[in-house]
Every structure is written in C-alpha cells, then in structure tokens.
Amino acid sequence: MLKARILKSGFRAAWTHKVRAIFMMLSIMIGIASLTVVISLGKGTEEKIMTQVQKFFSSNTIMVVSGGGRVAPNRPVAITGNLKIADVEEIAEQIGNILMWDAVQHLSGKEAQANGNNTLVDISGQTPAAEGVFNLAVTEGRFYSEKENRNLARVAVITPHVREKLFGNENPVGQMIKIDNVPFQVIGTIGPRGLDPHGTDKDNEILIPLNTVMRRVANLEYVMFVKYLVRDEQRINETAEQIKSMLREKHSINATEEDDFMVITPVRVKELIANASKTFNLYLPLLAFVSLFVGGIVVINLMLISVSERTKEIGLRKAVGAQSKDITMQFLIEAASITIISGLTGIVVGILLLTQITKFMNMPFSISWGAVFMCSIISAVVGIAAGYFPAKKAAGLIPVESLR
C-alpha cells in the first residue's frame, strides 16, 4: 500500500510542473530520436550499398583496376594507365577458370547532341561481352557486335536518362547522335541500372565499342578496369592470385615493389564495405550519444531545481514519518517516468523521421530493432541516473531545517 502511494505521488509530482516536465522530455526525446535515426540509417545505408555492389559485383567476379586502385573521389579513375588489352586477353587465355570478361574505359563529362537537344553524359567503352558480363538488358534494338568493335564502328547504345534528355518519347534506334561533335548511330537502348557502388549514375551513360573509344575518341592504349567472371567460385581466390602473379611478371615488378594494379574479389569488397560501415556506425551514434548525455545533464539540473523548490514539502513529509528511502524512491520515479515516456516518444518520432528521410534519399526503409531496444534501455538508465543525485539530496534534508 505504501509503495503504491509512493508511485502515485511520484507520477503526480512529475506532471505537476508541466513546463519543466516538457523541457526534460524534449532533452531526452531529441537524443533518443537522433540515436534511432542514425543507427537505422547506418543499417539502411549498408543494405543499399550491398544491393548496389551485388548488381555490379556478383559472387563469381574478379575486378582488376589499372593504377593500383588509386581512385579519384566518387569515380574509379585510374591515375596511371598500365592495363593493356593484350594483358587482359592473355590472362583470359591462360587461366582456365575464367569464363568471360569485359574491359572498360570510362570518359566523363562528354557533350552529347541529338534532335537539337544536348546534355552532358559519361561514355563507357566496353566490349560486346559487356551485355553478358554486366547483365545488360537491351530493351530496343540490339547491342553492338565483335565485328563492329574490331572495325571501330561509330555505333552507340544509350541508357534511359540519355534517351529521355535527347529523344523524349521518340524511338532513338537508327537516329544519329553526336558525342563531342563525332557522329554515332544509335543501335539500341538498355534498361535502367541505377547508381554503381561509386555513386556514378549508370543511366546517364552512352555505351560504344571499346576499340572505338580507344582509337577514335580518346586515343588511349590502356583500359581503366576489367571484370572477369570465373567458372568455379570456390577457386576465386586462387584465380585472383594467378592474375596478380601474371600481371606482376608482365609489368616487371620486383618483390620489393608494390603492385601497379589492384585485384578485387568479393571477399575484399565485403571487407571494404564492412570497414566503411564500421566507421559510419561508430562515429555518428557517438554524436547521438553526446546529445543524449547532454539531455541527461538537463534532467539532473531541472530535478535539482525541483528539490530546492520543494524543500518545505520534503521536510513536512519526513516530519510526519516518511523515511529517506521513500523520498529517494519518489524522486527516482519522477525522473524515470519522464525519461522513459520521453524515450518511447523519441523512438516513435525517430521512426517517423526515418520514413521521411529514407523516402527523400531514396533509401530502403530499415529499422534497427536492436537500436530501438537499446534506446528503451538507455532512456530508463538515464532516468535512474538523472534522478539519483537529486533523490539523494532530497533524502538527506533535515526536517527541522527544511521547515524553517
């Protein structure tokens, strides 16, 4: 009965001063909402990256990047050119586990013109094998052939955004397009692919034969990277080592020198994503924890002010028989009730914010239920911790002095 009265008294006192209670709630609610959003966003971001990577980097893929993998921000542009078609072809011929391959040379910021319209696009020079290696879905027309690649044909396959900007609702197949004033004939279109793992819009590309890019457009002797598909996934690491050994020998790299290329396997990709996610999921939640810590300090200060204002009430309670533990329990209940309710409110607000943020950023909606559970526990712990010192102060007041 006594405990029930203490609980009732604690809850009633917590909501007697509504403005103070609201400020305490806001201080905790903001921290909990931030923590819920940040952790869930981290999980959603990781899922989005993994989805994008799986589109371009399947489990039987080995990627070889020219220039030791030194890349520019947001774009896989090799600094040094040292991966020649001859290297790529010899590797495919000598290593039996390689099923098929496609070499890529990427050019960004090229002006494309057609039908009086113009736009900036990326040019992707690729072999005819790109259709199978990258799972390209031709929606209209056709993909270019090996004969067209050998003959440096000026043909192009365009992507959805390029088609929309240059041709609108017209059928682009058979029409002419100029790329930096060099005419090409559109022979096909491919379906949407979205962003690649580097954030490049693959729907704003024009695909043309690799040899055409290297001889007629860019006058280059090397490719940016090559994607190999292997027959036996169980031997993918062995195959990667064979590729690495062959390239080191062909590039005359001695034992003390670093590779001038990078060989990337699915295992390596997962490690890179895990490391990036670890950083993201460590520092951003840490900022949210700081906000929550500040909220806890606010609750402590407001509860201490409450103790100071209610000195006579506490003295009167102790004078009529209330024990120190009863006073302590009352103030702990006051702090805990506010923080737990504000914590639960913060979780709801965080989930609502998360739905809007993910919709705006075109990200998968993913709630970390572990984070929700953790936030619930944290709000309770903060409430107990924030109420402890004020409760001890209130319980330690001497009745005679309090009633003066």
Return the domain boundaries, the chain.
2-51+271-402, 61-230
Task: Report pLDDT digits (tens) over 336-350.
Answer: 777 777 778 888 888
Res 399 pLDDT > 60: no
- 126 has a pLDDT exceeding 60: yes
Where does residue 320 rank: exposed (0-12), middle (13-18), buried (19+ CB within 10 A)? exposed
With helix as H, strand as E and coil as C, how does 114-135 read? ECCEEEEEEEEEECCCHHHHCC
Nearest partner of 119 among 185, 190, 203, 199, judged by Cα: 203
pLDDT interval class at 120 (50, 70, 90) = very high
Q: 């300090």: which residue's tokens?
A: 297
**What is the amino acid identity at position 347?**
I
Q: Please give the backbone phi and psi of residue 111, each rounded to the nearest 5 degrees, phi first.
A: -90, 125
What pLDDT is attached to residue 311?
Answer: 63
Distance separating alpha carbons of residues 154 and 136, to the nearest angstrom: 20
Beta-carbon neighbour count of residue 404 at 10 Å?
7
| pLDDT tens-place string over residues 152-168 | 999 999 999 999 999 98
Lowest mean pLDDT among 173-187, 238-252, 253-267: 253-267
pLDDT range class, residue 321, cuts 50, 70, 90: low
Indicate whether this model's pTM tops 0.95: no
**Nearest alpha-carbon partner for 96 in 238, 226, 225, 224:** 238
pLDDT in tens, 346-389: 888 888 888 887 777 776 666 767 666 776 676 667 666 666 66
* pLDDT band, very low/low/confident/very high, at 303 (cuts 50, 70, 90): low
Query: How many residues make up the chain in this entry?
Result: 404
Q: Identify which of 374, 354, 353, 278 has the alpha carbon closest to the alpha carbon of residue 49.
A: 278
CB neighbour class for 351 (10 Å; exposed up to 12, middle 13-18, buried from 19): middle
Question: Is 201 or 238 the better-scoring residue by pLDDT?
Answer: 238
Given a cut of 90, whether residue 127 has pLDDT beyond it is: yes
User: Which tokens belong to 121?
Assistant: 């696009």
Q: Rounded to 5 degrees, what are φ and ψ at 261?
A: -155, 170
